[in-house]
Amino acid sequence: QVQLGESGGGLVQAGGSPRLSCSASGGTINDYAMGWFRQAPGKERRFVAAIAWSGGKTVYADSVKGRFTISRDNAKMTGYLQMNSLKTEDTAVYYCGADRDILRLEINDPEYWGQGAQVTVSS
């Protein structure tokens, strides 16, 4: 079983560039694709970005392409979401997820979920 935990959330300024981290433990996490998702108030949870286990393939939702960058450090068993030029519309609970099949991440259905981290963007 893979355990995931997000960190790096909180209150940030519009235009800021925070980085979220997703620490993994258990299983063979480096064999898994990892991804990020978000759920804004009153909205459904949506796919944000995913990265293959090797880091060689990344996929982004159109809403964040060009602003957010997903990466991972397999030695640290940690994934990252670098968020740039934040907007108030980015306010959401951000979740990380993992699955052996990156397609499962793209369709918002990974095998493993983190608990989520609140990101609130203020003007």
Please give the pLDDT value at position 15: 97
| pLDDT higher than threshold 90 for residue 111 | yes
* Tens digit of each residue's pLDDT (9 = 90 or more) over 53-91: 988 899 999 999 999 999 999 999 999 999 999 999 999
Interatomic CA distance for residues 120 and 87, integer angstroms = 10
pLDDT confidence tier of residue 28, bands split at 50, 70 and 90: confident
- φ and ψ at residue 75, rounded to 5 degrees: -60, -35
In 1-123, which ranges are E strands? 3-7, 10-13, 19-25, 33-39, 46-51, 58-60, 68-73, 78-83, 92-99, 112-113, 117-122
**104 confidence band (pLDDT: 50, 70, 90):** very high
